[in-house]
Amino acid sequence: MNEQLLQSVTVIKGIGEETANALAQLNIHTINDLLEHFPYRYEDYRLCHLMDVKHNERVTVEGKIQSEPSLIYYGRKRSRLTVRLLVDRALIQVVFFNQPYLKKSLAINETITVTGKWDQHRQTITANEMKRGHYSMTTMFEPVYTVKGSITVKGMRRFIQLALNQFADQVEETLPAHLLKQYRLLPKKAALTACHFPRSAKDVKQARRRVVYEEFLLFQLKMQALRKFEREQSKGMIHKYDENKLNAFIASLPFPLTNAQTRVVQEILNDLNSPYRMNRLLQGDVGSGKTVVASIALYACVLSGSQGALMVPTEILAEQHAHSLTQLFEPFGVNVQLLSSSVKGKRRKELLSDLQAGDIHLLVGTHALIQEEVKFKKLGLVITDEQHRFGVEQRRILREKGENPDVLFMTATPIPRTLAITVFGEMDVSIIDEMPKGRKMIETYWAKHHMLERVLIFMEKELIKGRQAYVICPLIEESDKLDVQNAIDVYTTLTNYFDNRFNVGLMHGRLTSEEKETVMKAFTVNEVQVLVSTTVVEVGVNVPNATFMLIYDAERFGLAQLHQLRGRVGRGSEQSYCVLLADPKSDVGKERMKIMTETNDGFLLSEKDLELRGPGDFFGKKQSGLPEFKIADMVHDYRALETARKDAAMMVQTEQFWQSNEYAYLRDYLEKSGVLRGEKLD
């Protein structure tokens, strides 16, 4: 970038120290910062036809004054100034509140342009702006900026205008000419000017299009360059395994793999075979059968003489996985062990030394796996289930426990494609987009709280058939205590309600892991028929006889999370049901409940969730790891995002990109971001 633009804003004539300090509050330090402080919207001053305008909408019209202005005072400072105005062929009224001084500029037969709110019933505009004379083209769109402290929007406009007047000529093109041509993008300088001071709706659109593409391209270049370097630099392991043995294992499974499972297994095996380090995200809806895919990958790894690790977010899930893997691998002589916080003392010591000696082939556990004391002999593959719950740091530590082990992240939260390619842009992605045959759709209903009685009768019908039920209590933000109390209350209510007819169990985050295990076991073997639980039960738990789920205060959950919870039922061959108990107040809330009742497709739900809640809320703020764009919007501009990704992926593979002058700015950008020095984005 031109060095001139990296100078402090004080270099601009008309901006002094004081303004500079105020701008610094907005993180605007250099001239370039100021030029790239984009408006977040525009005030629209386009001339309208009143016939096209709805009640209460903002309008700008031009007309001829038809009456002497009448001014009325009420109270000491308040006034109301009214004139009649002929607009096209309609006679309307224009009202100015508390602007008595305008009276002298409003004379009969004078032409004025006014902007304000249109009251259709009274045929009146409540004006907040007025200009004498004909509508002038230069004011069609006025940019509106984020401002802070002493800086007003008007002030910001002026500062940016000053910056453009004095420094626009220093703005250099950042994109290669052929891209500008291919996508018909405005040159950088023109785009900046049009963005801040557009003269037409087309200007706004074109300027935005250019800026959005550039933002996405820069971001995707980082991702793609990182991906390229990871592939080239990290010497991964080549896992050589006996294919016949692996096939024998696959044939021993109680069911044939679905086509989607077969496909992703192949993608993963290719990675294992390759000298690159696998860095792959496996997405598949709840119940799509990710566990068996994981076990095939783990077995291939064991057959090649390495160890595997499976890391999951909760102890319950760790136990379940350890249990099912043990059964699965028993006939194949694979030693599977569980490392949880309840494995203590001598037993723990033994386990750790067996692991280091290589006698344990597969280790399953929670965060416990990434403690210092856990040492593998030869870690070849790390799989994390429901990975979005792990922090980036935890993932890194685990990866470093081996010498570049292959890494597979599994998630059942279907991530909309737009997010997947931004958040996980540097990874390869495999998707299981097919359910095992014979799955029934989970019938989902939305009930208001006052209908609880009827819901419980419905639930009891299922229990009488010998089935089991989950009752999920709402998560109360920031209060683990209230959370637990809530679950206890529901538990008490239901215990009373079902009296001696059915047993009710209680599960929440405050229980010790032994207590949790006891409850879970009782539910698994059907000693407990109704399990009241907080969301700890969310991930992975598998009790096929449970066919009914009741979710309290469902409006508090995101769609993705509701879907995840719902996935605990519908795991057997019987018809399952899910009832959402909710009295949402907002339209969005109602919309979300409705969508849940209409579809079982996790990917569709995740797209909707993203639309309704925005990307920030999608993963929860803390772990979002979402990039922030100045102007681009990942959801609405997803086409541009995909295009930029494709372009970036191609670019980094070409000779020209790394050599030709056309790409100098982009290379420079990568250099500055640290990607070229092999620094990780996280």
β-pair partners for 409: 281, 384
Q: Are strands 428-432 and 279-284 parallel, antiparallel or unpaired?
A: parallel
The C-alpha atoms of residue 203 and residue 191 are separated, in whole angstroms, by: 8
If the CB atoms of residues 379 and 541 are measured against ligand ADP, the closer one turns out to be 541
Burial class of 74 by CB neighbour count within 10 A (0 to 12, 13 to 18, 19+): exposed
Q: Any contact of residue 542 with ligand ADP (CB under 6 A)? A: yes
- As measured in angstroms, the least distance from the Cβ of 482 to ligand ADP is 30
- First-to-last alpha carbon distance for the chain, in angstroms, is 25
Which residue minimizes CB distance to ligand ADP?
A: 289
Interface stretch with Mg ion, choices 156-164, 243-251, 269-277, 536-544 (CB under 5 A): 536-544
Please state the closest distance from residue 566 (CB atom) to Mg ion, in A. 14
Beta bridge partners, 84, equal: 93
Query: Binding string, 322-361, against ligand ADP, x = CB under 6 A?
Result: ----------------------------------------
Give me the 410-439 binding string for ligand ADP, x by CB under 6 A, dash otherwise. --x-----------------------x---
Separation CA 469–CA 463 (nearest Å) = 7
Q: Least separation, in Å, of the C-beta of 472 and ligand ADP?
A: 17
Considering only 2-10, 12-20, 257-265, 333-341, which stretch makes contact with ligand ADP by CB under 6 A?
257-265
Strands (E), 98-213: 111-119, 124-132, 141-144
Q: How far is CA 120 from CA 55, 129, 510, in A?
A: 5, 19, 59
Q: For ligand ADP, which stretch binds (CB under 6 A), given 4-12, 42-50, 83-91, 287-295? A: 287-295
| DSSP-derived secondary structure letter, 388 | G
Using rule CB under 6 A, residue 255 touches ligand ADP: yes
How far CA 532 is from CA of 490, 520, 574, in Å, comes to 7, 11, 21
Is residue 258 a contact point for ligand ADP (CB under 6 A)? yes
Choose one: 242-250, 252-260, 420-428, 584-592; the region binding ligand ADP (CB under 6 A).
252-260
Q: Could you tell which of ligand ADP, Mg ion, none binds residue 40, using a CB distance below 5 to 8 A set by kind?
A: none
550-589 mask for ligand ADP (x: CB under 6 A)? ---------------------x------------------
Provide the total of helices (H) and of strands (E) in the chain, helices listed first: 23, 21
State residue 71 phi and psi, 5-degree precision: -115, 125
567 scored as a contact of Mg ion (CB under 5 A): no
Taking the complex as a whole, how short is the minimal distance between the CB of residue 607 and ligand ADP, in angstroms? 19
DSSP-assigned letters across all residues of 210-265: HHHHHHHHHHHHHHHHHHHHHHHHSB-------HHHHHHHHHHSSSPPPHHHHHHH
- Does 291 contact ligand ADP by CB under 6 A? yes
Q: Using the rule CB under 5 A, which residue among 540, 558, 570, 584 binds Mg ion?
A: 540
Phi, psi of 60, rounded to the nearest 5 degrees = -125, 125
Q: How far is the CB of 290 from Mg ion (least distance, A)?
A: 5
Among 39, 143, 284, 584, binds ligand ADP (CB under 6 A): 284
- Angstrom CA distances, 419 to 51, 239, 265, 396, 462, stand at 42, 31, 23, 21, 39
Interface positions with Mg ion (CB under 5 A) = 540
Interface positions with ligand ADP (CB under 6 A) = 255, 257-258, 261, 284, 286-292, 412, 436, 542, 571
